[in-house]
A and B are shown apart, each in its own frame.
Chain A
Amino acid sequence: MAADSTTRTLISHAQLRRGRGRVLYWAVLSVVVAGFTLVFLGPLYWMVTGALKSGQEIAQTPPTLFPRDPQPRNYVDAWTNLELAKLLFNTFYYATGAVLFQLVFDTAAAYALSKLRPVLGKLILGMMLATLMIPAMVLIVPQYVTVIDLPIVHVNLLDSPFAIWLPLVANAFNIFLLKRFFDSIPEDLMAAAVMDGASPLRTLWSIVLPMSRPILGVVAIFAVTAVWKDFLWPKLVMPSPETRTVSVGIYAFAGGTPMNVVIAASVIAAIPTVVLFLIFQRNIMSGLTTGGLKG
């Protein structure tokens, strides 16, 4: 997605390469690089090192740039007192399940809508896409009531991971993303498979899925981040301390825990998504920009 060097933008290349333009370009570039590093990386540095400072050092003016007497204890306390191992495991478990449920159900649905074209398929897709217009906050109460007493089967899903997994399957954005990708798979390939006697499931498994790896990766990464970042829904449907996610757990402990320990816990909670992002940033960015948002 990087513009190649021949694409002309707002200011022409020639102008940037000559005399005053060139000086100005390098000046702006250095200011932007330095400024962005300060604004976006600076706070993270402050967070990681701040959690190493003692309570006394954190309250001192002016603030110190490096921890004078690093206290790794804060991280150890966060890990043990907040039971971060358990909270992280819970979150990881919900994220894994969310990936599996979304990949299985959303891929199947998108495949049906794109290639099998059942009757009423268009209407169903329309009704799915319409949910994109409904803000989550509007549905939070009726959704909660539904989850504590599931219609017809009358099951209470509180503290059950299904309360996180199943609502996440109802993700119109994923289905739309997948359907668009499947739409671009040549129909001839499908026809050839049908001629060879392959069932729809077989065609999905051996032809469509292998070709769709990039988009499946994007959906999986988004599923993990969604679970990791979500706050209110897990707070409501996972009320017991044993089933909490890491964000909810830190919030629950924040009142009676020293500030530095809360920040240390926040750092630990952020590590998985940040690492995931640094590894898969190319896929994430291309997924974002191919999400059908073209005007």
Chain B
Amino acid sequence: MALTTAPGATRRTGPVAPTPSRTAARRAGLGRKVRDNLTGHAFLIGAVACFAVFSWYPMVRGVVMSFQRTRRGETTWVGWDNYSRIIADPSFWTAWKNTFVFTGLALVLGYAVPFFVAILLNELRHAKGYLRVLVYLPVMLPPASALFLFKFYAYDPSEAGLFNAILTALGLPTSEWMQSPTMTMPAMVIASTWMNMGGAVLIYLAALQNIPGELYEAAEIDGAGVWRRILHVTIPQTRLILALLAMLQIVATMQLFIEPLILANGAGTQDSATSVAYLIYQHGFFQNDLNGAAALGVIMLVVLAGFSAVYLRLTARQD
């Protein structure tokens, strides 16, 4: 991520020819510097306090909690007990399997589709504004609203459901959607992709607009067709964005929670919708097992850190 390359910053203490005011400020010396710093820290304090209390401290506390057990107000160290208990839960592996299936399907659908949609939109010269607004519109809906729409209207297992009506009209067999264990995951991926793809499309569009036109020109002169131009110009030119969004997509989809909760009332038919995040919620807030939930959170963090490491290695090698 190019997060640290802020452009256009000229430092106050930078290599600029000293103007009278600068030398005066420098001569004023240490006292002035300290006072400057004090103001600086005063401006930072609110945000830093919020980060400390609600991000940095919980981070550490989550790890600590995962090795503790609290009973009747007494906290004791229990080593890896929470971890072994969590892993022994039969839902643990089902939840991981489901989460990976969702992430995998979401990479195919929610990652490739927006890229091609962005390429398509970038080629069109008309109705640009309208199409962009349309794609981003679902992102603005509260997820609960959008998911109730899918649950009640689209995934109605009778023939009155929107999707089944379309399938019937096309002469295809209907599906039970959320009632069928095999369709649960694809149905959740479809709903989730519809809700979320707008953001990715817009980011890709911005990246596509930065590709120099001469590259396409040159490729065309060399006799490259449209597909070869996509393969040899578009994809290499946007590879950093592609890699970054793949990473973000994995992190986002691994947290699959509200889709199972609303579409499948939690676990779904035969546990077909249980996800790791849903298990954290179950343990923490229904089974009164906050320590087990914390351990599950740490496991999730380790898995995601593994993905990040792979991502960093892959992107580092490309440069």
A: residues with CB less than 8 A from B are 1-3, 5, 7-13, 16, 28-29, 32-33, 36-37, 39-41, 43-44, 46-47, 50, 58-63, 104-106, 108-109, 111-119, 121, 124, 127-129, 131, 133-147, 150-151, 166-167, 169-170, 172, 175-176, 179-180, 183-184, 186-187, 190-191, 194-195, 199-201, 225, 228-229, 231-232, 236, 246-248, 250-251, 254, 259, 262-263, 266-267, 269-270, 273-274, 276-278, 281, 284-285, 288-289, 292-295
Measured CB to CB, the nearest residue on chain B to A12 is B220
Q: A124-B48, A294-B2 are in contact. Are A142 and B62 (CB under 8 A)?
A: yes
* Cα A259 to Cα B145 with chains together (Å): 12
- Tell whether, in the assembled complex, residue A183 and residue B162 are in contact, meaning their CB atoms are under 8 Å apart: no
Q: Which of B37-45, B102-110, B176-184 contacts the other chain? A: B37-45
Chain A nearest CB: distance from B10 CB in Å? Answer: 4
Q: A134-B59, A137-B277 are in contact. Are A43 and B149 (CB under 8 A)?
A: yes
Q: A229-B143, A270-B142 are in contact. Are A40 and B230 (CB under 8 A)?
A: no
- Tell whether, in the assembled complex, residue A119 and residue B37 are in contact, meaning their CB atoms are under 8 Å apart: yes
Note all chain B residues with C-beta closer than 8 A to A150. 53
B: residues with CB less than 8 A from A are 1-4, 6-12, 16, 19, 21-22, 25, 36-37, 39-41, 43-44, 46-48, 50-51, 53-59, 61-62, 65, 119-138, 140-146, 148-149, 152-154, 158-162, 165, 168-169, 194, 199, 202-203, 205-211, 213-214, 216-217, 220, 226, 229-230, 233-234, 238-241, 244, 251, 254-255, 257-258, 261-262, 276-277, 280-281, 284-285, 290, 293-294, 297-298, 300-301, 304, 308
Chain B nearest CB: distance from A25 CB in Å? Answer: 8
Chain A nearest CB: distance from B227 CB in Å? Answer: 10
Chain A nearest CB: distance from B21 CB in Å? Answer: 5
21 A-B contact pairs sorted by A residue (CB < 8 Å): A46-B162, A109-B43, A109-B46, A117-B11, A118-B37, A135-B255, A136-B255, A137-B257, A140-B280, A141-B293, A142-B65, A151-B53, A169-B50, A170-B47, A180-B7, A187-B12, A200-B43, A228-B142, A266-B145, A270-B142, A284-B136
Measured CB to CB, the nearest residue on chain B to A26 is B126
Note all chain B residues with C-beta closer than 8 A to A247. 142-145
Measured CB to CB, the nearest residue on chain A to B21 is A195
> Which 8 residue pairs of A and B lie closest in terms of their CB atoms, listed nearest first?
A295-B240, A8-B213, A118-B40, A116-B40, A109-B47, A289-B206, A112-B43, A142-B58
Determine the main DSSP class of A at the interface with B.
helix
Note all chain B residues with C-beta closer than 8 A to A200. 39-40, 43
Across chains A and B, the number of contacting residue pairs, with CB separation under 8 Å, is: 350
Measured CB to CB, the nearest residue on chain A to B213 is A8
Measured CB to CB, the nearest residue on chain A to B296 is A141
- Tell whether, in the assembled complex, residue B51 and residue A131 are in contact, meaning their CB atoms are under 8 Å apart: yes
- Tell whether, in the assembled complex, residue A289 and residue B9 are in contact, meaning their CB atoms are under 8 Å apart: no
* Cα A144 to Cα B186 with chains together (Å): 32
Pick from A11, A59, A63, A169: contact of B123, CB under 8 Å: A11
- Tell whether, in the assembled complex, residue B44 and residue A285 are in contact, meaning their CB atoms are under 8 Å apart: no
Note all chain B residues with C-beta closer than 8 A to A124. 44, 48
Pick from A5, A9, A251: contact of B262, CB under 8 Å: A251
Pick from A104, A134, A176: contact of B301, CB under 8 Å: A134
Note all chain B residues with C-beta closer than 8 A to A143. 54, 58
Chain B nearest CB: distance from A244 CB in Å? Answer: 12
Measured CB to CB, the nearest residue on chain B to A175 is B47
- Tell whether, in the assembled complex, residue B131 and residue A36 are in contact, meaning their CB atoms are under 8 Å apart: yes
Given A131-B51, A170-B54, A186-B10, 19 more A-B residue pairs with CB atoms under 8 Å apart are: A9-B123, A116-B40, A118-B40, A135-B301, A138-B304, A139-B55, A139-B62, A143-B58, A166-B54, A167-B54, A172-B51, A175-B47, A191-B12, A200-B40, A262-B148, A263-B148, A270-B142, A277-B137, A288-B206
* Cα A3 to Cα B216 with chains together (Å): 15
